[in-house]
Amino acid sequence: MDILAKGIALAGCAIGAGLALIAGIGPGIGEGVAVGRALEAIGRQPEVSGQVTSTMLLGCAIAETTGIYGFVTGLLLIFVAPGMFMGRLG
């Protein structure tokens, strides 16, 4: 039963890590749309390309936040959680 409990805990960590990284879809789609609009703007008015590019990068880095939340959760589940759970289960 001890092995079973440890197995279930580790399996839970692994499945949770996989599910956590589904959060990567959001920034991918959002930033793709943002870059598309930026390219349209540059195509319409090539002289604003510097300003449009830097504003687009700033916006992308802020939209990246929720993807990073999911990534850090996945990292914690893979590297930190097994140690914690193994310590509790003995």
Q: How far apart are CA 53 and CA 23, in angstroms?
A: 25
Distances (CA, A) of 8 to 24, 29, 61, 78, 88: 26, 34, 37, 14, 13
State which of positions 60-89 bind other proteins (CB under 8 A): 61-62, 64-65, 68-69, 71-72, 75, 79-80
Q: Please choose, out of 8-16, 32-40, 42-50, 58-66, the segment that lies near other proteins by the rule CB under 8 A.
A: 58-66
Q: Which residue from 49, 57, 82, 85 is in contact with other proteins, where contact means CB under 8 A?
A: 57
User: Does residue 29 bind other proteins (CB under 8 A)?
Assistant: no
